[in-house]
Chains A and B, each alone.
Chain A
Amino acid sequence: MIMKKLWKMAPVATLLVGMMAAPLTQAEDVVKIGVAGPHTGAYAAFGEQLWKGAEAAANDINEAGGIDGKKIELVKADDACEPKQAVSVANRLVDNDKVVAVVGHFCSSSTMPASEIYDEANIIDITPASTNPQVTERGLKTIMRTCGRDDQQGNVAGDYIVNQLKAKKVAVIHDKDTYGQGLADATKARMNELGLEEVLYEGLTRGEKDFNALVTKIKSVDADVVYFGGLHSEAGPLVRQLREQGSKATFISGDGIVSEDFVVAAGGGEFVDGVLSTFGRDPRTIPEGKAVVDKFKAAGYEPEGYTLYSYAAMQAIADAIKGSGSTDGDKLTAWLESNGADTVMGKKEWDEKGDLKVSDYVMYRWDKDGKYTMIEE
C-alpha cells in the first residue's frame, strides 16, 4: 500500500533529482554574463528595461567582434525584487551558470544581499539602477554602479527647491520603499541643511491608485512644492489627483518617474505639464548615445528609465574584460576604477567604493506633450 504510494511519487522525485543534477555544459568560446532583475511581480516593467539594455549592448558588442573574439552570452535571472529570490538567483548565477560578471539587480533590497554573494565569489556586479547609498557603503570590493546615488540626486533636487524655486512650503512624499524613501530622505536632508523645513513628510503605499486623501492633506497645508520619492506608477496618479483637486504646487521627483509610462500613468500630457525631475545627462546629447537611442527606436522600443544605464553597465564590463585581460572580480573593478569606461552615457569614472565620480544629475522639465527637456542653468 505504502509502496504503491511511493511508486506514484517516483516520477516527481526523478524529475526533481534530474533537474538538480542536470549538468551544465560550458563552452569555452563565450563570456557568460548574468542579467538579474525582476521579471515577474510588481516591478517587472523595470526588469524588462534592464534586460533590453543589456541585451542590446551584448548584441552590439558581439556584432563588433565580441570580447577578444569571444561572444557574450547572457543569462537572464529573475529575482521578483524579493531578497530571498535574489539570494537564490545570485547563487545560481555563480554556481550553476558560472557567469563571470553580473549586470543587476534592480531593487536596492535585492542588490544588497546578492552583492554579498558575488563578492564572496569574486565576481564583478554592476547595478544600473540601485541608487541606495548603502549598496556601495558596505566595504564590498566587486560592486559598482552606473547610476548615481540617492544622496547625489537628493542634493541636486534639494538645491533646486531652495535656490531656484525659492519654495516656502514643501511637502515631501515617498513610497515607503528602499529607493523612494531613500531619495526623499536625501532631498529632505539637503533642504534642511539649507534651512528649509518641510511642512509635510509622509509615505504612501505602493500599488495603490487612490491618493486623494493625501492630496487633500497636501492642499490643506498649502504646499507650493511637492517632492515625491518613488516610481512613475505612483507618481502618475498622485500628480493627476493633485491637479484634479485644483492644486498648483510644483511637482518634483527623481529618476524613478522618468519614463513614458509616467505620462500614461498620469492620464495624459496635460497632467504632467510643468513637472520637474532629476535625471542623468540626456544620452541623446552624446553622439554615441544618439546612435544607440536611434537604433532602439528603430527596433520599436523606447529606451527609457534604466535601459541605457544597463547598456552602459554591459559596455563597462566588456571594456574591463578586454582591458585587464582577466575575469577576476577584483582586477576588473580595479581596472575600471583606474581607467574608467566610454559608455553610451559618456565617459564614466568610478571611485574606490564603486560609485560614479561625477554625478551628472540635472533637472528636467516635462511639457504638455509629455516630453521632457533639460533645463539649461
Chain B
Amino acid sequence: MAGHAGILINSKSILLQKTFRCSTMESHILGQQLVNGLALGSIYGLIAVGYTMVYGIIGMINFAHGDIYMVAAYITAICIAVLSFFGINTVAIVLLITLAVTIFIIALYGWSIERVAYKPLRNSTRLAPLISAIGVSLILQNYVQVSQGARTQAVPTMIQGAFRFGSETDFFQITYIQTLLVVVSFLSMGILTWIIQKTSLGRQCRAVQQDRKMASLLGINTDRIISTVFIMGSSMAAVAGVLVTLNYGSFDFYIGFVTGIKAFTAAVLGGIGSLPGAMLGGIILGMSESLFSGLVNTDYKDVFAFSLLVLVLIFRPSGLLGKPAVEKV
C-alpha cells in the first residue's frame, strides 16, 4: 500500500518539478505536503457542506456558518473541561460524549438562528437574509468574546502520535488525529449524501430545493425541511469544530472568519449546492494551498487559491460538480 502510494507520488513529483521553479522536491516532502493538503482540505470540506446545503435549499449564503464552527470549538473545550472536572478522562469516551454534546448544542444554534434571523425574511428580497447573516456573524463573534474573553483558548492534547512512511530521516507522516479527521470527513459526507439521495427526508429536501412552492403544495412542510437542513449543516460544523480543535489544540473567537471564507470558496469551487462538490472543492483548495505554499511561496498562497477559483468559474461557471444553471426561455 505504502509502496504503491510512493510510486504515485514520485510520478507526480516529476510532473510538478517541471511545472514549478522548484529544483529539488524530494518525494517525502511532497508526500508530506499532500498529507497537509488533504487534512486541511477535509476541514474545509466539512465546513463547506454547511454552506452548500443552505445555499442549495434557500439560495442564501449563510455568512454566519463560519462562526457557528467557531462556537463549536468553544463548546468542545467547555465539554472536555466539564468532563475532566467529573473525572472522565478516557479518550474514547470523552471524544464520543463531546461529539454528541457539541452536535446537539450546535444544531440548536443552527435551528434558533434560522428561526430568529432568517425565517422572517423567507419571502423577502434575496439579499435581505444575507445582510441578516452578516449581522448574526457579528453577534456570535462578539457574544463569544464578551462571554469567554478575547484570549486564546485551548484543549489538552488527547491524541498524539503519527503514522510515518519512509526512512528514519526522510519520512512523511500523518498524525492519528489527522487520519481521524480525514476518515470522519469522508464518512459524514457519505452519510449525508446517502440521506439526501436515498431517504424520504432527502427526497423532500431535494423537492424543496427544486421548487419550494410546488413542494409545499404536495404536502411537504417546507419550513420543517429548511430547519432540518440548517440542523444538518450545523451538525457538520460541529463535527469540524470538535476535530479541528483536537487537531490544532487552540482557538479563539476569530477563527470562524478566515476558515469560513475559505470553506465558502471551497463550496463554490466544487459547485455550490452539490455535496460531493463541497468535499472535492475543499480537498482541491487545501491541496492547492499546501502545494503552492510548499513549492512557490506562502505569502501568495491565498492569492493563488482565489485566482484558481476565478479561473475555474470562468471555464465552468457553475463550479466543478455544480449543475449548470438552466436558462429559462
Contact = CB atoms under 8 A, between A and B. Distances in A.
The answer on direct contact between A and B (beta carbons under 8 Å) is: yes
B142 interface: yes
Interface stretch (A98-106, A157-165, A213-221, A353-361): A213-221
Interface stretch (A61-69, A87-95, A201-209, A335-343): A201-209
B250 A210 contact: no
Contact of B258 (A203, A205, A264): A205
Among B43, B156, B157, which residue has the most Cβ atoms of chain A within 10 A? B157
Interface stretch (B107-115, B129-137, B145-153, B221-229): B145-153
Contact of B290 (A176, A205, A207, A213): A213
B179 interface: no
Interface in B228-247: 244
Given A40-B142, A268-B156, A45 B150 contact: yes
A267 B157 CA distance: 6
Contacts of B36: 210, 212-213, 216
A244 B163 CA distance: 12
Interface string B19-63: 000000110010011001101100100000000000000000000
Interface residues of B, number: 46
Contact of B29 (A176, A220, A232): A220
Nearest to A205: B302
Contacts of A240: 248-249
B249 A267 contact: yes
B294 A268 contact: no
Contacts of A267: 154-157, 248-250
B257 interface: yes
B10 interface: no
Contacts of A203: 298-299
A45 B302 contact: no
Contacts of B155: 267
A133 B152 CA distance: 28
Given A203-B299, A212-B40, A233-B152, A217 B294 contact: yes
Contact of B298 (A207, A217, A219, A233): A217
A176 B32 CA distance: 25
Contacts of B301: 205, 213
Contact of B250 (A41, A220, A265): A265
Given A44-B150, A207-B254, 18 more contacts: A42-B254, A202-B297, A203-B298, A208-B259, A210-B40, A210-B248, A212-B32, A212-B36, A213-B298, A217-B298, A219-B29, A220-B294, A236-B249, A246-B171, A265-B152, A267-B155, A267-B157, A268-B249
8 contacts: A176-B299, A208-B259, A212-B290, A214-B298, A216-B294, A217-B294, A261-B151, A265-B249
Interface of B: 25-26, 29, 32-33, 36-37, 39-40, 43, 142, 145, 149-157, 162, 171, 173, 175, 244, 248-252, 254-255, 257-259, 289-291, 293-294, 297-299, 301-302
Interface of A: 40-42, 44-45, 47-48, 176, 202-205, 207-210, 212-214, 216-217, 219-220, 232-233, 236-237, 240, 244-246, 261, 264-268
